[in-house]
Amino acid sequence: MYHYLRNRRNQRHFPLPFIENFLPTKHCNWPFSTFTVQTPNANPNLEAVPSNFHAHSPQRPNLLSTHNLTSTHPAAPSLDKSPPFDQNTLNDTISSNKIITSYIRSGDLSSALRVFGNMTVKTTVTWNAMLAGYSRKPGKLTEAQKLFDQIPEKDTVSYNIMLAGYVQNSDMETVWSFFNSMPSKDIASWNTMISGFAQKGAMAKARELFLAMPEKNGVTWSAMISGYVECGALELAEEFFEFAAVKSVVAWTAMISGYMKFGKIEKAERLFKEMPVKNLVTWNAMIAGYVENCRAEDGLKIFRIMLRYGIRPNHSSLSSVLLGCSELSALQLGKQVHQLVCKSSLRDDTTACTSLISMYCKCGVLDDAWKLFLETKSKDIVSWNAMISGYAQHGAGEKALHLFEEMRGEGIKPDWITFVAVLLACNHAGLVDIGVRYFDSMVKDYGVEPRPDHYTCMVDLLGRAGKLVEAVDLIKKMPFKPHSAIFGTLLGACRIHKNLELAEFAAQNLLNLDPQSAAGYVQLANVYAATNKWDHVARVRCSMKDNKVVKTPGYSWIEIKNTVHEFRSGDRVHPELASIHEKLNELEKKMKLAGYVPDLESALHDVGEEQKEQLLLWHSEKLAIAFGLIAVPYGTPIRVFKNLRVCGDCHRAIKYISAIERREIIVRDTVRFHHFMGGCCSCGDYW
């Protein structure tokens, strides 16, 4: 391969380095279909069944008479009773061919077979259409083989359709044997083979065929590039992309997906800007890539740009956008996406409805999620899991468990994700004994092997309940090596219960597994601070500095009129800061009159009490809530989101604020949702 590519390099008449300035981009205003390794076809922009088989068949019509079909499989044609050929017969045959192709594309193989059986004259195109219908349908390979053997005059298209059927439904040894038996091969034949090996991850064999292939086209290069991307061999994909004689939109998109997959966002952005033509899959790759790389805001921005170009989103686009809305808690955009779904063919799609349910749950609108869940006509296990998880995240443990039992009553078998949600529900509701019973029943009653996520939930369940020794015993009994999240969870429980000995044990194990874990250092420092061991706090902070570990800064945000307002503790940049401080000072006086006493243990700095109170008053969630009280109309819930766990003082203060202002305040932190109303929180102070 190296020599092949080196020879191509010597034939170039233009410089190799990428152009510094981005080229103008052409945008097409309609959705495209694209080639994928999973569906190897000669032309990636055509359906598996070509709309006009004449374009690929021999020029002569090959008109053949057959008996009508009365059995499930086509009977062998009778060539001895061919009726006289005339124009009417040809027109009838062409019309029937179109009907068969239409039925096959819609997945109605039975109707296509009835038309096929009633035809008095069949061309090779007719046989190929039926063959494509059988070969592309899972579990119909045997019928496809029988039909293939009965075709009177097979052409290259016949062999290619059968070859593609073998690739999709058989092992590659069988495929290889059939390929070698073909009397003639065209580019489509070679592309199908290369795509098949790439699909199986056998890139060495795919490359061998690539080098032996007498003539290559854009599909060939795309298959190799896509295959290497899927296998994780990004450097080889880059090499092929650089030297590709024809760079199709599929090749460009595959490289963008590969760069995003490996976190090379800048390279993906550069290719996206350089692309001469983009299709819907390209835009989807960028949107999904941003969201998967924790840059959901950029993903939503590029989605809006895509809409402005008039490109209609599909299920993949909307799923990525809804995930981005969930991460950013961008409820307004999520509602707009919901409207798009309702106006599209996806309104009854189970996956689209499930994505919407998850979005509403993660944006804190549990009632809308439940309403949509009830309206979903066909619920699968993912739908049930999304709703159970939603109740669990919002602390509605009993509702989550009731829904789990209802799911079982519907005959749907729970999977490992279901039990993560169930254990999470028990955890947030403090249902320790019930959680232990569900954990024990996973293998015994449902055949679900516990995974690290289940053990993490159990350690959290036991730890929050103060059963720290039992939590440590469970960690020691795990059938696999504990991961860092296990000890991080234990450390968090130690902070709640101020257990220094176990906190140091958990922190040491956590930092051994993940030396750069800022959470490990911070949680341990918090335990020391809560017990006024400020010399130990200083030592931990020095250790962080020596190891170049940077603490994730805490911030909160609130969405108002499609604009996200972000606040950091002690914020000094928001344009409404003066009004926010005035509101907070007013609230502080009213709260203290109502009995509020600042929780100084939540101020993790060795400073005076008055300064600690000021630091607490300017915590990011309080700033966001104060702004919400100013900007959000009365009667509308105030929804605030935080990237870290809400502190104890803020939790106490927000209860007072909800009663004083008579407002519903919903706060989501990294652990769960808190619904504050009338001086109470939905968590019951168990969090």
CA distance 671 to 105: 47
Domain-ending residue, one of 256, 277, 298: 277
Distance (Å, whole) CA 37 – CA 46? 14
In angstroms, the Cα distances linking 44 to 191, 246, 308 are 11, 14, 26
Residue whose tokens read 């706090």? 537
First to last CA, the chain: 59
Task: Give domain status of residue 71, yes or no.
Answer: no
- Residues 227 and 295 grouped into a single domain: no
Domain that residue 232 falls in: 202-211+218-277
Query: Could you tell me if 262 and 295 lie in one domain?
Result: no
Stretches where the chain sits below pLDDT 50 are 1-85
Pair 224, 301 in one domain:
no
269 and 290 together in one domain: no
Which structure tokens are listed for 340?
Answer: 């798009």
Q: Residues 576, 656: one domain? A: yes
Same domain, yes or no: 236 and 268: yes
Residue 254 placed within a domain: yes
The H-or-E segment that residue 650 falls in is helix 648-661
Question: 299 and 353 share a domain?
Answer: yes
Domain boundary among 347, 378, 409: 378
Nearest to 220 by CA among 41, 412, 16: 41
- In tens, the pLDDT along 305-315 reads 999 999 988 88
Q: Are residues 243 and 325 in the same domain?
A: no
> Tokens 């601070």, residue?
529
Give me the CATH number covering residue 314.
Answer: 1.25.40
Are 243 and 288 found together in one domain?
A: no
* pLDDT given for residue 604 in this prediction: 57
The encoded tokens of residue 306 equal: 């895509």
Same domain, 575 and 670: yes
User: Given 144, 159, 174, which residue is the final one in a domain?
Assistant: 159
pLDDT for 89 equals: 61
What's the domain count of the chain? 4
Whether 457 is in a domain gets the answer no
Contacts of 676 (CB under 8 A, 6+ apart): 654, 655, 657, 658, 664, 665, 666, 667, 682
Q: Is residue 520 part of a domain?
A: no
Domain membership flag for residue 538 = no
**CB environment 588-621: b (16+ within 10 A), e (fewer):** beebeeeebebbebbbbeeeeeeebeebbbbbbb
Q: What is the pLDDT of residues 53-62, one digit of tens each?
A: 333 333 334 4
Structure confidence at residue 88 (pLDDT) = 64
SS3 per-residue string spanning 18-36:
CCCCCCCCEECCCCCCCCE
Could you tell me if 302 and 287 are in contact, meaning their C-beta atoms sit under 8 angstroms apart?
Answer: yes
Q: Judge whether 330 lies within some domain.
A: yes
DSSP string, 506-563: HHHHHHHH-TT-HHHHHHHHHHHHHTT-HHHHHHHHHHHHHTT--PPPPEEEEEETTE
> Tell me, what's the pLDDT at 90?
63
Does the predicted model carry a pTM greater than 0.85? no
| 72 belongs to a structural domain | no
Closest-CA residue to 123 (of 56, 212, 218): 56
Say if 628 falls within a structural domain: yes
132-191 residue pLDDT tens:
888 888 888 888 889 899 898 899 999 999 999 888 888 888 888 999 899 989 999 999
Residues 559 and 662 in one domain: yes
Judge if 251 and 319 occupy the same domain: no
